[in-house]
Each structure stands twice: as C-alpha cells, then as structure tokens.
Structure 1
C-alpha cells in the first residue's frame, strides 16, 4: 500500500479538525495549511473530497472554514486512505511465471493486507488524542 501526500495531508487535516471539534468557530484553511505545511490550494482540493465523503462540513463567509461532521471514533485510517486515493502495491510485472515470482507476489500481498489491517484498526480519534498529548507545552523548574 502506497500512502500518497494527498492521503497524508487529508489525515493531518482531519486530525486538526478532530482536535478542534469542541471549538465553536470553524477552522480556516489558512490555519490548517500553516500549521501543517500543506499547500493551501492542494488542501482546498482535499477538503472538497472530504466534504463529498460527508466527513467535513464547510462554512462560508469571512469567519468560515471547516468542521468535522462525523465522530472521530467512527472513522479509521483505511477509510480515509481509500476515500482520498490510496493505491495498493500489488505490482504487476512482466516477469516469467516462476515459483519464485509467485512466492514474491504472495509476500507483497501479505504485506499489503498487514498494512490495511493496521490502518483499519486505527481510528482518527486515537491519532488525534495521541498527537494532542505531544502538543502540550511542558515547563520545568
């Protein structure tokens, strides 16, 4: 499974929206873009895809932005990757059909299934909570 920049950025945007879900105001594209280093025009395209999936809500106007439209516990990373455009690494080659070639494809398929299983069992809520813990400022005396 190949994780593209588009999938990575979509997940970062969703994490940001999940962490700020309790805020009354929507989150502006500019804020997400600056915080995570995502090119704003690319982020707008990604957020449109997420809106089409029903996962984010857009609010128009000068105080507009985006909000998460689903509970973060209901969304796993595999769903995000598949909706935004992840591709499996099932490589098709012109190699001769040998036992070694078949065995190698079995390994690639197992690796793809293992990565899908990890993504499927990891929710947006888990990642948002774990990453929020790292954002807290620590003061030592």
Structure 2
C-alpha cells in the first residue's frame, strides 16, 4: 500500500481537528495549512472530501473553519486512506508469468495486507493522543 500525499495531509488535518475538538471552536484552513505545511488549495479539496464523508463540519463566516464531526475513536487510518483515495498497489505488472513472478506477487499481497491491518487497528484518537503527549514533552525556548 502506498500512502499518497493526499492521505498524509488528510490525516494531518484530522489530527489537528481532533486535538482542537475540546475547544469546540472551528479551526481555520489557514491555521492547519501553516502549522503542517499543507498547500492551502489542496487542503480545501481534502477538507471537502472529509466533509462529504461526514467526518468534518464546515462553519462559514469570519470566525468559521472546520471541526471534527465524529469522535476520533470512531475513525481508523484505513478508513481515512480509503475515503481520501489511497491507491491499492499490489505489484501487478505485465511481467511474464513465472514462478518467481508469482512468488513476488504473493509477497507484495502479504505486505499490503499487513499494512492494511496496521491502519485498520489504529484510530485517529490514538494518533491524536500520542501527538498531544509528544507535543507536551517538547521544550520551547
């Protein structure tokens, strides 16, 4: 499984919204973009996809932005990857059908299944909690 920039950025945006969920205030696209280095127009497209999935709410106006619409524990990284459009790669090629080629396909399939299993058991809440803990440990001067 290849994790695209789109999936990575979507997950970063969702982590930011999960961390800010207790505040209940919407988070501006500009804040997410600047904090995580995500190009603004690309982030807007991603947030629209996440809104269509029902995971974020958009709030209009000068104090508007986005906020998480579901509990972070209800969302896995695999669901995010699938919703945002993570392409499934399994090493399929036009190579000649040989024992070595078939064996490699089996290995690529096993690797893909292993990565899907990790993403399926990892929730947004877990990543947000680990991020918050790591951020609290950092010492700023």
What TM-score, normalized by structure 2, do the two folds share? 0.96
Q: Secondary structure at the match of 1:58?
A: strand
1:87 aligned residue: 87
**Is structure 2 residue 114 aligned with structure 1 residue 114?**
yes
Aligned length: 139
Higher helix fraction (1 or 2): 2
**What TM-score, normalized by structure 1, do the two folds share?**
0.96
Deviation, structure 1 residue 138: 5.3
| Whole-angstrom distance in 1 between the partners of 2:104 and 2:123 | 31
Deviation track 1:79-120 (CA, whole Å, cap 9, x = no partner) reads 000000101111221211111110110000000000000000
CA 22–87 in structure 1, closer or farther in 2 if over 3 Å, else same: same
1:126 maps to 126
- What is the distance in 1 between the residues matched to 2:24 and 2:48? 21
Deviation at 1:135, TM superposition (A): 1.2
Is the CA contact (8 Å cut-off) linking 2:24 and 2:67 kept in structure 1?
no
Q: Structure 2 matches for 1:36-51, cutoff 5 A?
A: 36-51=36-51
